[in-house]
């Protein structure tokens, strides 16, 4: 055998045993006539001792070992005289009596340590080395345990794990598809699924009333910290359910995962916040509720006093940062520059301090009496020592989003976004549609199969923009970890939905005829939810990006720098697929 024990399991109770270990050389150091080599595998690190006085040849061989050499070591477990309390194996060491070099290694391009000297690009290029680092390895171990708990929970609730195809038809709504040319069907293309949405609905029609799948999905969209071109969903669907049934079951799943994987017991029901309230008070449909600092609209108080910025605004809103009145002018200038960044887009910021004596000192004092400023402070529930920050603009939705970014920045600065604290909620009652300036039409906010709230169905003919959806998102610490909806199961209502979205009957039949035809054969009421596995794991691991909980992620440009993909096809492949590459215009 290559090994009888792994490098993380030996303890003081194993002293006296003869063992064989195999792994990588983490580091080696020579002290007098002895050489100490730390051997690492997935399970941990064990110190191995080579004694020149006992076996000079073996010691000489140990001195020739380099970092990341793959070796096999034989020897006896002994108690260490100088113990290492930071290692689980720190009470023991192996007194070596045999060494085999299984494979040599070049010097790695960065240190294989928790705190490495490698930057993001170099680590992504040599991802197989990066995965040897304990903190990255632990993220993948957490991901494994997460998926095992998901399967255990859903199996216990009667769900069947069913696979759906990876090669499907392209969909006209939502994000851009990744397309795959078909060699055998000239001029035609598959698409990689953005989600198994229609397929899981067909499974409900087929009578598979509780389905789930841990599935790869693909979206050709711009990247950010919580997005990758390919990602993994915990995809679920249920029949004969209403919104509350789905929310209760998957809230239970979230609580189970928190308890089993983080040791966090969540006993209270998760709050449910209407989308309109989330936007009004937080400027986001995924509010971070670990801290308060809700928006307060100040239009009635601050308009009409001669300050043209406010007098001409369509929205004026503020947040109250408790205890932050001590902020210096330099810090306030930094916040002003923060909100003026192009990606945020505010033109400026107004601030006010509540002084120890209760008076209010503002950056626009000359326009406002103390009486008005006191009314503002009262509306903000501000007390002595608090700092009020105000933004305004000619577009209420846009300004709220800017205020959201300011709120999150203040949360960071004041230490209110603790990664070991979790605040969960459901955002419900989303709008059914949103207006697209690019398309000049209403688009489905979620997807065209979402059921409208029953009481809003009459407005589909009179005011479709006011219709609310039977949709729900779960938000944890300001991250949307999953969402879903009750689906349309009536072919006439589905046809109406396609009409509102601008589909001709012919186009709807071409794109989704298979689903609408299936509904004619007895589709049950059904709905579902998809959790983002990558987001959940990164949240539990305390990461700022989902990349380090994915074995082989893409970079911010959507490239795999290790595999050098995407890459051009050779001409033979292009000819087989009847494809021609046309140079993109520089205009």
Q: How confident is the model at residue 434 (pLDDT cuts 50, 70, 90)?
A: confident
Whole-number Cα distances in Å, 69 to 12, 24, 60: 27, 5, 15
DSSP string, 226-277: T--SEEEEEEEEEES--HHHHHHHHHHHHHHHIIIII-----SPPPEEEHHH
Q: How confident is the model at residue 430 (pLDDT cuts 50, 70, 90)?
A: very high
Q: How far apart are CA 474 and CA 459, in angstroms?
A: 27
**Does 463 map to a domain?**
yes
Per-residue pLDDT tens over the stretch 475-516: 999 999 999 999 999 988 998 998 898 888 888 888 888 988
**Does 566 map to a domain?**
no
Residue 51 C-alpha from the chain's centroid: 50
Q: Which two tokens stand for residue 418?
A: 């603790």
Residue 206, helix vs strand vs coil:
coil
The chain-wide mean pLDDT, for the chain, equals 94
**Whether residue 403 is found in the same domain as residue 500:** no
**Does 439 map to a domain?**
yes
Per-residue pLDDT tens over the stretch 140-154: 999 999 999 999 999
Show which of 378, 413, 448 is a domain's final residue: 413
For residue 450, pLDDT over 90 is answered with yes
Q: What mean pLDDT do residues 243-265 have?
A: 97
**Whether residue 431 is found in the same domain as residue 405:** no
Whole-number Cα distances in Å, 382 to 305, 356, 387, 452: 21, 12, 8, 40
Show which of 355, 390, 413 is a domain's final residue: 413
Q: How confident is the model at residue 174 (pLDDT cuts 50, 70, 90)?
A: low
Q: What mean pLDDT do residues 208-231 have?
A: 89
The residue behind tokens 């995962």 is 257
Q: How confident is the model at residue 173 (pLDDT cuts 50, 70, 90)?
A: low
Per-residue pLDDT tens over the stretch 73-94: 999 999 999 999 999 999 999 9
Show which of 52, 83, 103 is a domain's final residue: 103
Q: What mean pLDDT do residues 241-248 have?
A: 97
**Whether residue 535 is found in the same domain as residue 515:** yes
**Whether residue 366 is found in the same domain as residue 478:** no
**Whether residue 268 is found in the same domain as residue 295:** no
User: For residues 89-121, b (16+ Cβ closer than 10 Å) or e, as one string?
Assistant: bbbbbbebeebeeeeeeeebeeebeeebebeee
Comparing CA positions, the residue from 254, 262, 265, 203 lying closest to residue 533 is 254
Q: The CATH number of the domain where 147 resides is what?
A: 3.30.930.10
**Whether residue 457 is found in the same domain as residue 529:** yes
pLDDT of 504: 87
**Whether residue 156 is found in the same domain as residue 50:** no
Q: How far apart are CA 397 and CA 282, in angstroms?
A: 11
**Does 235 map to a domain?**
yes
**Whether residue 259 is found in the same domain as residue 361:** no
For residue 442, pLDDT over 90 is answered with no
For residue 112, pLDDT over 90 is answered with yes
> What is the span of the domain harbouring residue 25?
12-103
**Whether residue 392 is found in the same domain as residue 296:** yes
The number of folded domains in the chain is 3
Comparing CA positions, the residue from 440, 461, 458, 310 lying closest to residue 372 is 310
Angle at 370 between CA 367 and CA 371, to 5 degrees: 105
**Does 20 map to a domain?**
yes
Q: The CATH number of the domain where 407 resides is what?
A: 3.30.1360.30
Residues 6 or more apart whose CB falls under 8 angstroms from that of 9 comprise 43, 44, 89
The residue behind tokens 């095992």 is 148
For residue 263, pLDDT over 90 is answered with yes
For residue 226, pLDDT over 90 is answered with no
For residue 415, pLDDT over 90 is answered with yes
Q: What mean pLDDT do residues 455-459 have?
A: 94
Please tell me the least confidently modeled range out of 69-83, 375-389, 527-541, 570-584.
570-584
**Whether residue 249 is found in the same domain as residue 317:** no
Where do the H-state alpha helices sit in 307-413? 308-311, 329-339, 370-379, 396-413
Q: How far apart are CA 370 and CA 268, in angstroms?
A: 43
pLDDT of 435: 83
**Does 80 map to a domain?**
yes
**Whether residue 340 is found in the same domain as residue 216:** no
Whole-number Cα distances in Å, 32 to 36, 50, 279, 501: 11, 11, 68, 79
For residue 566, pLDDT over 80 is answered with yes
pLDDT of 507: 86
Q: Which two tokens stand for residue 33?
A: 């006539």
Q: The CATH number of the domain where 44 resides is what?
A: 2.40.50.140
Q: How confident is the model at residue 586 (pLDDT cuts 50, 70, 90)?
A: low
**Does 285 map to a domain?**
no
Q: What mean pLDDT do residues 221-243 have?
A: 90
Q: How confident is the model at residue 585 (pLDDT cuts 50, 70, 90)?
A: confident
Strands of the sheet containing 424-428, edge to edge, are 160-161, 210-218, 230-239, 526-532, 479-486, 471-476, 424-428, 272-274
Side-chain half-sphere exposure of 354, counting CA atoms within 13 A: 23
Per-residue pLDDT tens over the stretch 116-145: 998 888 999 999 999 999 999 999 999 999
Comparing CA positions, the residue from 257, 9, 229 lying closest to residue 143 is 257
Q: What mean pLDDT do residues 341-369 have?
A: 95
Dihedral sign, Cα of residue 264, residue 270, residue 274, residue 278 = negative
**Whether residue 401 is found in the same domain as residue 450:** no
**Does 187 map to a domain?**
yes
> What's the distance, Cα to Cα, between the start and end of the chain in Å?
64
**pLDDT more than 70, % of the chain:** 99
Is the whole model's pTM more than 0.85, yes or no? yes
């Amino acid at each position: 055998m290559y090994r009888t024990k792994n490098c993380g399991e030996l303890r003081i109770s194993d002293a006296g045993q003869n063992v064989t270990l195999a792994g990588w050389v983490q580091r080696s150091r020579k002290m007098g006539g002895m050489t100490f080599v730390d051997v690492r595998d997935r399970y941990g690190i064990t110190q191995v001792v080579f004694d020149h006085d006992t076996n000079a040849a073996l010691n000489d061989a140990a001195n020739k070992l380099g970092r990341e050499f793959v070796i096999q070591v034989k020897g006896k477990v002994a108690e260490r005289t100088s113990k290492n309390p930071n290692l689980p194996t720190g009470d023991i060491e192996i007194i070596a009596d045999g060494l085999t070099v299984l494979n040599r290694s070049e010097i790695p391009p960065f240190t294989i340590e928790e705190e490495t000297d490698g930057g993001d690009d170099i680590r992504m290029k040599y991802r197989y080395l990066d995965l040897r680092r304990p903190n990255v390895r632990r993220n993948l171990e957490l991901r494994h345990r997460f998926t095992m708990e998901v399967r255990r929970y859903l199996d216990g609730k009667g769900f069947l794990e069913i696979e759906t195809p990876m090669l499907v038809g392209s969909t006209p709504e939502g994000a851009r598809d990744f397309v795959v040319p078909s060699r055998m069907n000239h001029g035609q293309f598959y698409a990689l699924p953005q989600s198994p949405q229609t397929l899981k609905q067909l499974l409900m029609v087929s009578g598979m009333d509780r389905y789930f799948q841990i599935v790869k999905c693909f979206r050709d969209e711009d990247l950010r910290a919580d997005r990758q071109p390919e990602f993994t969903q915990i995809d679920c669907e249920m029949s004969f359910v209403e919104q509350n049934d789905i929310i209760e079951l998957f809230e239970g799943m979230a609580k189970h995962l928190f308890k089993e994987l983080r040791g966090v017991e969540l006993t209270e029901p998760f709050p449910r916040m209407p989308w309109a309230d989330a936007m009004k008070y937080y400027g986001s449909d995924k509010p971070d509720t670990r801290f308060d600092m809700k928006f307060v609209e100040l239009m009635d108080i601050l308009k009409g006093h001669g300050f043209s910025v406010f007098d001409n605004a369509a929205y004026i809103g503020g947040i109250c940062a408790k205890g932050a009145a001590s902020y210096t002018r330099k810090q306030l200038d930094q916040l002003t520059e923060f909100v003026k960044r192009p990606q945020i887009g505010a033109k400026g910021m107004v601030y006010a301090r509540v002084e120890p004596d209760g008076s209010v000192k503002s950056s626009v004092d000359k326009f406002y009496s103390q009486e008005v400023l006191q009314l503002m402070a009262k509306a903000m529930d501000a007390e002595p020592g608090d700092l009020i920050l105000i933004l305004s603009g000619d577009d209420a939705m846009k300004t709220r989003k800017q205020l959201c970014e300011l709120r999150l920045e203040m949360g960071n600065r004041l230490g209110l976004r603790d990664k070991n604290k979790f605040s969960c909620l459901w955002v419900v009652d989303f709008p059914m549609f949103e207006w697209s300036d690019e398309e000049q039409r209403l688009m489905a906010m979620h997807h065209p199969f979402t059921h409208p709230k029953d009481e809003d169905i009459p407005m589909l003919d009179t005011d479709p923009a006011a219709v609310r959806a039977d949709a729900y998102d779960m938000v944890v610490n300001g991250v949307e970890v999953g969402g879903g909806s009750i689906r349309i199961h009536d072919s006439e209502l589905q046809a109406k939905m396609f009409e509102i979205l601008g589909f001709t009957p012919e186009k709807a039949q071409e794109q989704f005829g298979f689903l609408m035809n299936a509904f004619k054969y007895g589709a049950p009421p059904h709905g579902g939810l998809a959790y983002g596995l990558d987001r959940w794991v990164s949240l539990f691991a305390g990461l700022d990006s989902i990349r380090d909980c994915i074995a082989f992620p893409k970079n911010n440009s959507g490239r795999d720098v290790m595999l050098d993909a995407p890459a051009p096809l050779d001409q033979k492949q292009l000819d087989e697929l009847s494809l021609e590459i046309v140079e993109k215009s520089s205009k």
